[in-house]
Amino acid sequence: MKISIKNIALSIFLCLLSIFIIACQQNTSTNILYSSEFDGIQYFGEDSFLLEGTDIPDSLKDSKYDRLPISYKDLVREPVWNLSKNSAGLSIRFLSNSSVITAKWELLNNFSMDHMPDTGIKGIDLYFKNNNKWQYVNTGRPAGFNNEYRLIDNMDNELREYKIFLPLYDGIKNIEIGIDSSSFIQKPKKNEKKPIIFYGTSITQGACASRPGMAHTNIISRKLDRNVINFGFSGNGRMEQPISKLISESDPAFYVIECMPNMYPPDLVTRNTIPLVNEIRSKNPNTPIILVDLFTSPIIALDKNAVNGTNEMNNALKNEYKKMVDNGYENIIYLDSEKALGNDFEGTVDAVHFTDLGFIRYSTFLIEKFKEYNLLSD
């Protein structure tokens, strides 16, 4: 019996088409959420949750989810201003007895990078408070500028406290929380502990955490159950006067300055370190200031220039620290970070930016130092 070439080709085409349709259906079921999944959900906006990770009033900002006041647009360099639109370190906290939690969020840029997952760049992380400790639940995976994600369902209607960490390397125009129509949502009490202020680089901003909750500032915020304010500006954490002035106007428990990866050449360390401290001291004469030295990169095992460069940078910071101590400055802490990521050099994604492992180790290292220097007594 003869089988025509046309029939064979048609059979192959139909077979491939079936495989393609099945694959698309499977992909859709895991990544794209249909509107039917959100039937019976009512959404609530900013009046129903507490924004944390900032102490700048909304009235002074261009957008609620910015990290700098609008008045600083012409005071900082353009890259710093653009990065201040990223919502790194910001979170929202709320109470609800809903059986389901969903979220809708609109991104500012829909940004992507080749060394950091989209979930870390522009996703959101849901946590809930379990026996007075924050416990991870799920991550809202971004699919474009406008996103809607079912974070958890099938819960009993117990009143719980939730926290959602916002994108690290993108901004959001708006976020809304969805609950079932028979439940309620409300703002919790404000956290009255003094915040911790971090000023630094791409690492401070959260590169390259797999999801927002894994940036070290967010880990520390959860572990210590207090606000942490993140002034991390990727490639642009240079101890500059406008940011020094802004952070001096706050009243934190203490400051953590981790700008060293962006302070090359060493002359920049010499020029900017003491002026930054003086700016803070003008408004906060006794508040502790931690100066973190340059992280040790894995490449120092083989790259002689990297060894020399790291030593030069850290010697420059040590010299400025010694000048301050010799001149009677108090509550200035120099932090040697050589062992902050462990001894196996497995804490980075590219010999610079931290993985989740690196962030866990670094946050543990910092918390131990905070306790060692008795900085958490409030």
Could you tell me the sign of the dihedral formed by the alpha carbons of 311, 266, 86, 187, in that order? positive
Tell me the C-alpha distance between 354 and 234, whole Å.
Answer: 13
**DSSP E strands, 141-194:** 146-152, 160-165, 172-180, 185-186
User: Across the beta sheet with 172-180, what order do the strands follow?
Assistant: 41-44, 172-180, 101-107, 146-152
DSSP for 58-124? GGGSSSTT-SS-GGGTTTS-HHHHHHHTS-TT-EEEEEE--S-EEEEEEESS----SSS-HHHHH-E
Closest to 122 (Cα-Cα) out of 61, 197, 173: 173
Q: Which of 3.40.50.11310, 3.50.50.60, 3.40.50.1110, 3.40.50.300 is the CATH number of 196-372?
A: 3.40.50.1110
Q: What is the CATH code of the structural domain delimited by 41-186?
A: 2.60.120.260
Domain ranges of the chain: 41-186, 196-372
Q: What is the pLDDT along the chain (378 residues), one digit of tens a residue?
A: 444 555 555 555 555 445 444 444 443 333 333 334 678 899 999 999 999 999 999 999 999 999 999 999 999 999 999 999 999 999 999 999 999 999 999 999 999 999 999 999 999 999 999 999 999 999 999 999 999 999 999 999 999 999 999 999 999 999 999 999 999 999 999 999 999 999 999 999 999 999 999 999 999 999 999 999 999 999 999 999 999 999 999 999 999 999 999 999 999 999 999 999 999 999 999 999 999 999 999 999 999 999 999 999 999 999 999 999 999 999 999 999 999 999 999 999 999 999 999 999 999 999 999 999 999 987
**What are the start-end ranges of the H helices in the chain?**
5-31, 78-84, 118-122, 202-205, 216-224, 241-248, 266-283, 304-326, 356-372
Q: Are 41-186 and 196-372 the same fold in CATH?
A: no
